[in-house]
Structure 1
Amino acid sequence: MLYIGVDLGTSAVKLLLMDEKGKIKNIVSKEYPLSFPQNGWSEQNPKDWYEQTVLGIKELIKHFDKSQVAGISFGGQMHGLVVLDENDEVIRPAILWNDSRTTKETDYLNNVIGKDKLSQYTANIAFAGFTAPKILWMKENESENFKKISKIMLPKDYIAYKLSNVFCTDVSDASGMLLYDVKNRCWSKEMINICGINENQLANVFESYEVVGTLTKEVAKELNLDAKVKVIAGAGDNAAAAIGTATVGEGKCNISLGTSGTVFIASEKFGVDENNALHSFAHSDGNYHLMGCMLSAASCNKWWIEEILKTNDYNNELNNIEKLGNNKVFFLPYLMGERSPYNDPSARGCFIGMSMDTTREEMSQAVLEGVAFALRDSFEIAKSLGIKIESTKICGGGAKSPIWVKMIANILNIKVERIESEEGPALGGAILAAVGCKEFASVEEAANKIVKVIETIDPDPVLVEKYEIAYRKFAKIYPTVKKLYTELM
């Protein structure tokens, strides 16, 4: 049988076709536009997602036996606000995860409602990118549109709805809305009241591997697929990536170096960081996870190389980095503000430590190291909770850089495991589809059978010692410059 994984990203949708043994048969990617109507705003048209997904599925399965396609599932960009009216028409462009317009609403939730109450209601506090602050922003600034809302969706769930006509979401993606009671796996009545909405406007919540329905007859005809093809709930992109890297089971860790960066730690038990610096979410394997998320990771490197250095020759720029652990230049990777652990939408990137003899290579190195140091910030919080992590998987575009992976192994002082397929959320979606179609007994069984480690990068004790000193310096920079950010805005 064949299974389709749909990774609905920020810049493109990636579609992956996998057989019942976990072998990847085909991959297709389709891009769509991203708009920034005002400073700090980030929006997309949900219709673009669906149109490109349909085109991508057609291309993906074009040369395969379509009767063998059994299920479709998803990994998708989290937190985005998609709103439909009573006629199922999109009311306004989706407000995305990296949109920072909700500073006022986030402050209200954290400081007026209170972080303790938010944590009690949802296991998390408010971050500018979360969905609930976006709903409050819409209520305050687009009251006529707010009144039209019939359905509130997350990005991937819009695709599921269009395919199956089932209004659904999953536990992992719902966890990032600040509307979901993570501990008890249900919608929070308190947060629903705070946002001025009702539960009928929110989707039915499924476990990530559960079947929500099948393709509608119209969609099946358009895709030339059987209407019995199952649609499985899927997961938020990081939880799906965790499945695609076999980050299931107590203490398993995955680092994602995509547009954003994450430290994802699986847990069989529900737990909350007392300062809420890490997110506490439901996992797509039926358990829970802690996650630190930085808003700019591989995107920092893209910005530096393409926008500043004006080149597309990534290999040439990165291959010249040689003096690991000896860089005097530091970079704060907060190009779009920062989430974990600082929750500071006003934060911005900066270089510090340059002198007349600073080289291009040292600044390129500082960008990579800055992202790795910021990942360690979240890693340190996990360690403070008594979580012992000896190794991590790694995925995302940045994982293709050997020098960056080496830095991460030494800055975090853990073994970093590269896997055979770095397709992350798309592979995780396909695995969830296979589990939903009973190809495997559980998510953990499927992930452990399918995901294969091909290389382990061990930390070098000499570099670990050097980077320990460097990290202690890095950790002092943000607290020192923090007060300047609001003055610079």
Structure 2
Amino acid sequence: MLLLGIDIGTSSIKVSVVDATLQTCIASAQYPDTESAITSKQPGWAEQSPEMWWQHVQNAILLTQKNNTYNPQDISAIGIAYQMHGLVLVDKDQNSLRDSIIWCDSRAVEIGNEAFDKIGHEECLGHLLNSPGNFTASKLAWVKANEPEIYAKTDKIMLPGDFIAMKLTGEITTSASALSEGIFYDFACNRLSHEILNYFGFSESLFATIKPVFADHGHLKKEIADALHLKAGIPVAYKAGDQPNNALSLNVLNPGEVAATAGTSGVIYGVSDVLAYDKESRVNTFAHVNHTEEQKRLGVLLCINGTGSLNRWTKTIFGADTTYQQMNTEARSIKLGSDGLRILPFGNGAERMLNNKLVGVHFQNIDLNLHTRAHIFRAVQEGIAFSFRYGLDIMRGNGMNPSIIRAGKANLFLSDLFTEAFVNATGVPVELYQNDGSIGAALGAGIGSGIYTTPQEAFSNMKPLQLIEPSVKGYEPIYEEWKGLLDKQLANN
């Protein structure tokens, strides 16, 4: 029995086919080979085409079949993970009305901040666990105010994963987890937030039927099944945002367990059973994949927008003739601290952990007679690691004190240098696993379709690849210097 997992990333679509019994990936594909475009019509804006995602999903699924390593008819369920907070609008015929305003778009920050003030900080934090800030609700309010003709045609709003599930099944559903990441969910009342809907003037009819994350979210349409060589009628049995899904893929389900990723954005994601919040909403709390009214499971999420995106930009500008592995090797030739070069890695939209400020990337202390591109390669990875430390200290101030962090051996965690900097800057060991979001989504489909009786059963064969513990001294004073530069930048911002 096989399971299909789809991960709708910002850079590309990743698809994996997993053997449900062995819990191992037997085929995978990524599409496209180069990173997908982000349209930025104005500074701080970021959009992608939902139809582009759909085309790329189909291409990736067909690519997994190219080498005939499995029979597509043996796939029994589909799971979907997706980039969080994006806004997709469709009309009554399920046609997309505009490009998606994605997670790193900053146009709605002031709309969200004004809502926070007018609804009331305590009301928002006590019921929503977050400020409306730069989340989906605020983005929808921007469309309502600035594109009224599109808003008037909107039949349903959804997140990126909901859109792909709709294309596969023709059905539109949502979950408490999805609503919470859009800042539409009232945790105190366990329903859509009447306060948000009333304040912004949103009709409840815009929202789809609410189902659990692990549930039947529709069945594969025959015409789609035929085009993709799959079996008609199999269920989409799981949908979750990429960070809750990444935590699931690392078997992070219980209070105190913590996961991290360092892809396009960087995230530390811890599970709690307490309806708590950061008073400044610098870290955010959402319903985790296994959250229920009876058993609270909240995902406390720290997000840094510009991690892998900065590393990619660095490669494009300074290392176009090298691979990422060669960049890491060059960076290794430079001693700890990059001979004084410091980089603030905040150039991919408003940073929530910095109170939604647009800080930008800053290169500090460049010595034209000393620093080479190898210094830049190292300083970028150190700066990203220091941004994780800065955010983790905020989480610690809110009661999240991990003794170990689990991460997939992917993206920046493929770099021994970055992993070393992360572990020694934060002081927390990292356990690395051979897993990714698409495999997690596939296993989630196994849970949602009843192949596994519990989430724990879905990960019974999972074993860590490596444990990296703090071992290198000298990061603390460099971090304190880096933090001082950030504090000065924030004071001037």
- 1:405 alignment partner, one of 391, 416, 419: 419
Cα drift, residue 327 of structure 1 = 4.5
Cα drift, residue 309 of structure 1 = 4.3
Q: Deviations over 1:95-130 (max 9, x none)?
A: 1111112233133223333333321331101332x1
- 2:362 alignment partner, one of 342, 350, 353: 350
Asked if structure 2 preserves the Cα contact closer than 8 Å seen for 1:285 and 1:444, the reply is no
Corresponding position: 1:445 with 2:457: yes
Cα drift, residue 342 of structure 1 = 1.1
Secondary structure of the corresponding residue to residue 24 of structure 1: strand
In 2, Cα distance between equivalents of 1:405 and 1:84? 41
Q: Deviations over 1:184-235 (max 9, x none)?
A: 5431111112222111111222222222221123322332322231111310
- 2:253 alignment partner, one of 248, 251, 256: 248
| CA pair 455-5 structure 1, distance change in 2 beyond 3 A | same
Q: Which residue of 1 aligns with 2:294?
A: none
Asked if structure 1 preserves the Cα contact closer than 8 Å seen for 2:259 and 2:406, the reply is yes
Corresponding position: 1:304 with 2:314: yes
Q: Which residue of 1 aligns with 2:41?
A: 37
| CA pair 319-58 structure 1, distance change in 2 beyond 3 A | closer
Asked if structure 2 preserves the Cα contact closer than 8 Å seen for 1:81 and 1:155, the reply is yes
Asked if structure 2 preserves the Cα contact closer than 8 Å seen for 1:4 and 1:17, the reply is yes
Asked if structure 2 preserves the Cα contact closer than 8 Å seen for 1:103 and 1:345, the reply is no
In 2, Cα distance between equivalents of 1:356 and 1:166? 58
In 2, Cα distance between equivalents of 1:142 and 1:351? 38
In 2, Cα distance between equivalents of 1:27 and 1:326? 37
Cα drift, residue 9 of structure 1 = 0.8
Corresponding position: 1:363 with 2:376: yes
Question: TM-score by structure 1 length?
Answer: 0.93
| CA pair 340-104 structure 1, distance change in 2 beyond 3 A | closer
Q: Which residue of 2 aligns with 1:54?
A: 58
Q: Deviations over 1:283-319 (max 9, x none)?
A: 1133211010011111111111212444333233321
Q: Which residue of 2 aligns with 1:145?
A: 150
Identity %: 27
Does 174-183 or 320-329 show the bigger shift?
320-329
Q: Which residue of 1 aligns with 2:407?
A: 394
- 1:474 alignment partner, one of 465, 482, 487: 482
In 1, Cα distance between equivalents of 2:363 and 2:186? 40
In 1, Cα distance between equivalents of 2:325 and 2:63? 30
CA RMSD in angstroms comes to: 1.9
Cα drift, residue 436 of structure 1 = 1.3
Question: TM-score by structure 2 length?
Answer: 0.92
Q: Which residue of 2 aligns with 1:154?
A: 159
In 2, Cα distance between equivalents of 1:357 and 1:134? 46
Q: Which residue of 2 aligns with 1:87?
A: 93
Within a 5 Å distance, the mapping from 1:66-77 to structure 2 comes to: 66-77=72-83
Cα drift, residue 326 of structure 1 = 6.7
In 2, Cα distance between equivalents of 1:113 and 1:268? 26
Corresponding position: 1:431 with 2:443: yes
In 2, Cα distance between equivalents of 1:204 and 1:251? 31
Q: Deviations over 1:117-152 (max 9, x none)?
A: 321331101332x11111111111111111111100
Cα drift, residue 171 of structure 1 = 3.1
Q: Which residue of 2 aligns with 1:228?
A: 233
| CA pair 312-343 structure 1, distance change in 2 beyond 3 A | farther
Secondary structure of the corresponding residue to residue 354 of structure 1: coil
Cα drift, residue 86 of structure 1 = 1.9
Q: Which residue of 2 aligns with 1:3?
A: 3
In 2, Cα distance between equivalents of 1:98 and 1:90? 20
- 1:323 alignment partner, one of 312, 325, 335: 335
Q: Deviations over 1:321-348 (max 9, x none)?
A: 2422574222111112342411334211
Q: Deviations over 1:392-442 (max 9, x none)?
A: 112341111111111101001111111123x2x211101101111222122
| CA pair 343-358 structure 1, distance change in 2 beyond 3 A | farther
In 1, Cα distance between equivalents of 2:30 and 2:323? 22
AA aligned opposite 1:27: S
Q: Which runs of 5+ in 2 are unaligned?
A: 292-296
- 1:121 alignment partner, one of 119, 127, 137: 127
| CA pair 98-158 structure 1, distance change in 2 beyond 3 A | same
